[in-house]
Structure 1
């Protein structure tokens, strides 16, 4: 007997053909993660949705139809991306509209709020522990921020136990969406939580990987979970599944959640067929209840300009250019190109008469560019570095047309070589999935490089007047480098700038139980939702209360130096030894690198090389050793994980890569000493 979960990312435009394949199987639960901190602090701070209504409506409609066809629960977490009250209100209005259109009646719906009242934390700042490297927290930060808490599995389980078929939640731990029902059914928490972590980004855990597709997890009676991509063009392999088990986490085998710690030291990965792979033997250690608090506050008004420069700008040593992002010169990793390196900037331009359509298409294309799988891709966490939150700048042209600009860059040679084919394929995909929106827009990809650099000028100040004054000063300094033969985009009003102000763990269990995550139950008949009752989550301990191993994330599986009696016999390019090398945010202030080797032999050679100790990696990355959180071994999947503190918190003006997805080039260029 098996139990199956169908997973997707809401708003990522999963193919309808994959949905149809999934509907050929018996599905017991449907889950979708709708949120993240990755796109930056703007969306929490403003209460705005990251995804546009067109893609959200399309995707939710398919998920609702699947839940009704299968007569199974549908769980969605972090609605509207940031999962605060305005995001919930926006999504609930859209969902009521869909219920009416789909004639969805007689459904019990649960809505769970993730908002944190500012007053709840005033006077309790000493109870908040910073996660990673954060500025000192003051009551003013709490008072002037929009706050949410990440819920765990208890609100979902409570809603399901109350008979809810549709559970719509504010800010959630990604895994809670998919782990709650398996734990509720008595499935081992270790297995449930690791399976949930692999499911939370859909088909990213496949080969080729993409967040814009579905993935199925099949729990079996033998204590294993097998992952099945419904899209026949994808497959789940030991490496693709193991790679995602490490995804967006600072440690390879310890992951911390409100209810405890997922431990994957003894996880076994196995191939089940030529298209499916599975896991077994994960563990879950119980710990006292905690929640992660996230906060965003406004820091100023923003003006931006996109300025094409003459090719000789790349040869200039002017400090002015080094202070700013110049695509083709220093933008992606905030250091000038080394001999043999490439860097391009991509300015996506979408124009049309309808603003909503232009914004929707630019968002869709941005997502496709970020996650598109192409031959030889090794940076599976994301293809591009985006410098802003939000990434889109939308304005009216002189002729009345609406234009959206999205700026990104990369140094990855494989993407650069294949970019024209990638652009062609994502345009075809957008046309297929959103024909009406696509038909009303024109799309252009403006490419910058060393011969044709592009200066991104961003000014943030407390007032619009101060931003305009400082922006004009910078424009005057840039005049000598401007290329008059290429179009500039000047003095555009970017969205107001926000910064992450709170990223802390709260351990006041009594207050968490009493004040957070209220649940409202409704009887839904189309657009009409009648309140049934309100309730609070019921918390029950899960996992091992006497876990025998260490849960210290600095020492467990840390890479230690190896003593050698002789010199290395040769050195090999790291690229020749690996099949995946990616960088990615692991929270707002940490970047983690995952290096997956082609074979156990090459993995062991790398561990013996001493090239991956904390000290050597600090030299490779050009940072002090105390900025390296740790370097770790992941024996079950022949991988090395490196985690370091960010130079700037994600989404801060001047930070080149909001997602942290293109910071791997210094590691990619490594040579590994080989000892016999």
Structure 2
């Protein structure tokens, strides 16, 4: 390792090559970050952005081949430089199996590259029985828009994770880990852990971590790759790793608008980042300096819970409308579709309305913004997505099959002929399997920042 934990440093440089492990980056940008003096490489491995399926099913959204390619780039560069690599929210949702999946790929990379590195696995998956003890003692609290948590909700989840702060990562680094593979973690904890361990102030550290969490998104070309943050006692600087790309005060400041309820504040497990007094200054045409960031320690340390459960099983079909008479009053056609489909499901399958559900999404009309859509007038063509949800897959598919002729030939009210719509695939019905929903948006009061997490150390490789 480049420096020991007890050695004082004036600054810490954090290299973030991309906003997500498996998204890919140019290895030359990592080499540039190492040449500029990077002290640590941090990479986010997951998110809730893609919905509840990945947590509910404990499956990754990225491919093993892409993850392996990125890990080879990061691990070989870091090993040569003697600096650690930190990956968080492994396997997309940070479940225990996600951590083990990434750890297996790390072992493959190290064996093939002849590396021998000490690896820490930090598990963040939670046991519902243990969480019920916290609930019974009044230590679980809801975040908007959810209400008080019920024990049955915990029991209904297929997987529950806690979003760790920087402390478990620091504990692993202090134990000698050269590669830290964390379960679910706040995006910022990954980049903040090493600088905080080295004594950098929390205000600049958490702010810098927020800016670099998505790699090149804080630059003038988000597709170009990663960034390097240099944190010191008074603030931090952000520099893109692609020489052809720039950071500007606007691109850097704008990232505080990303995924935050308040553009001036961001809550972490141990406190709140406050950037009201932050000043963003261009050092040159590529680098930005930020000073004035503050961090307010919380009276109570909390860990946020995320949990998902199965809501049923889905079958989807997709058709497209180009008929101008239907498009002239698409709302009337959609209302007729709802009415006739329910009638035919009752007639043919004998199902009551509460035994299944379906959603009709009109892409090109209002599927994205719904009633907030500002444009008026009929569209030229619309894609009709039918999503059927039922307690079992066979029922969902049966309802979708009943809808098949309607998705192909249903005329609008007043039409005296059968139109022909266009299915996107044959067969038209696509079984999507289990559907999930997020049901936890709660925090747990903790006495110890690491009490909900488990750390395992191993040496794997050549």
TM-score category of the 2 structures, normalised to the smaller one: 0.7 to 0.9
Shift of residue 321 of structure 1? 6.4
Is this contact kept in 2: 1:260–1:286, CA < 8 A?
Answer: yes
Which position in structure 2 is the counterpart of 1:386? none
Which position in structure 2 is the counterpart of 1:258? 269
Matched, 1:101 2:30: no
Alpha-carbon separation, structure 2, partners of 1:463 and 1:249: 37
Matched, 1:281 2:317: no
Please give the residue correspondences for 1:637-656 in structure 2 after superposition, counting only pairs within 5 Å: none
Deviations 1:485-539 (A, max 9, x none): 67445111113200001111111426x654x11111112233xxxxxxxxxxxxx
Is this contact kept in 1: 2:266–2:273, CA < 8 A?
Answer: yes
Q: How many aligned residue pairs are there?
A: 414
Matched, 1:44 2:80: no
Shift of residue 109 of structure 1? 1.5
Matched, 1:499 2:405: no
Structure 1 residues 203 and 463, CA, compared in 2 at 3 Å: closer, same or farther?
same
Deviations 1:134-187 (A, max 9, x none): 255322210121110011111111111111111111010111111111111111
The DSSP-based 3-state class of the residue aligned with 1:79 is strand
Which position in structure 2 is the counterpart of 1:326? 362
Provide the TM-score with structure 2 as the length reference.
0.85
Provide the TM-score with structure 1 as the length reference.
0.59
Structure 1 residues 176 and 338, CA, compared in 2 at 3 Å: closer, same or farther?
closer
Shift of residue 314 of structure 1? 2.2
Structure 1 residues 214 and 341, CA, compared in 2 at 3 Å: closer, same or farther?
farther
Partner residue of 1:58 out of 69, 92, 96: 69
Alpha-carbon separation, structure 2, partners of 1:341 and 1:113: 53
Shift of residue 451 of structure 1? 2.0
Matched, 1:154 2:163: no
Alpha-carbon separation, structure 1, partners of 2:192 and 2:182: 14
| Structure 2 unpaired stretches of 5+ | 1-9, 339-358, 412-418
Structure 1 residues 332 and 23, CA, compared in 2 at 3 Å: closer, same or farther?
same
- Segment drifting more, 472-481 vs 89-98: 472-481
Is this contact kept in 2: 1:314–1:329, CA < 8 A?
Answer: no
The DSSP-based 3-state class of the residue aligned with 1:465 is helix
Is this contact kept in 2: 1:325–1:334, CA < 8 A?
Answer: no
The DSSP-based 3-state class of the residue aligned with 1:298 is strand
Matched, 1:521 2:450: no
Please give the residue correspondences for 1:253-652 in structure 2 after superposition, counting only pairs within 5 Å: 253-287=264-298, 288-312=300-324, 313-316=326-329, 317-318=332-333, 319-320=335-336, 324-335=360-371, 338-339=374-375, 450-478=379-407, 479-480=409-410, 483-484=420-421, 487-489=424-426, 490-509=428-447, 513-514=450-451, 516-526=452-462
Alpha-carbon separation, structure 2, partners of 1:457 and 1:218: 50
Deviations 1:176-217 (A, max 9, x none): 11111111111110110000011111011111224x721111
The DSSP-based 3-state class of the residue aligned with 2:99 is helix
The DSSP-based 3-state class of the residue aligned with 2:91 is coil
Please give the root-mean-square deviation of Cα atoms over the aligned residues, in Å.
2.1
Is this contact kept in 1: 2:397–2:431, CA < 8 A?
Answer: no
Structure 1 residues 331 and 147, CA, compared in 2 at 3 Å: closer, same or farther?
same
Alpha-carbon separation, structure 2, partners of 1:6 and 1:294: 28
Structure 1 residues 307 and 336, CA, compared in 2 at 3 Å: closer, same or farther?
farther
Is this contact kept in 2: 1:311–1:453, CA < 8 A?
Answer: no
Is this contact kept in 2: 1:258–1:289, CA < 8 A?
Answer: yes
Which position in structure 1 is the counterpart of 2:203? 190
Which position in structure 1 is the counterpart of 2:132? 122
Which position in structure 2 is the counterpart of 1:33? 44
Partner residue of 2:239 out of 228, 238, 244: 228
Is this contact kept in 2: 1:152–1:258, CA < 8 A?
Answer: yes
Is this contact kept in 1: 2:321–2:422, CA < 8 A?
Answer: no
Is this contact kept in 2: 1:314–1:328, CA < 8 A?
Answer: no
Structure 1 residues 488 and 135, CA, compared in 2 at 3 Å: closer, same or farther?
farther
The DSSP-based 3-state class of the residue aligned with 1:248 is coil
Shift of residue 118 of structure 1? 1.2
Partner residue of 1:3 out of 8, 12, 25: 12
Which position in structure 1 is the counterpart of 2:85? 74
Structure 1 residues 219 and 337, CA, compared in 2 at 3 Å: closer, same or farther?
closer
Shift of residue 123 of structure 1? 4.5
Structure 1 residues 497 and 164, CA, compared in 2 at 3 Å: closer, same or farther?
same
Partner residue of 2:254 out of 226, 236, 243: 243
Alpha-carbon separation, structure 2, partners of 1:338 and 1:57: 44
Which position in structure 2 is the counterpart of 1:215? 227
Alpha-carbon separation, structure 2, partners of 1:261 and 1:497: 35
Shift of residue 473 of structure 1? 3.6
Deviations 1:291-329 (A, max 9, x none): 001101111111011111233232222325696211111
| Structure 1 unpaired stretches of 5+ | 343-449, 527-676
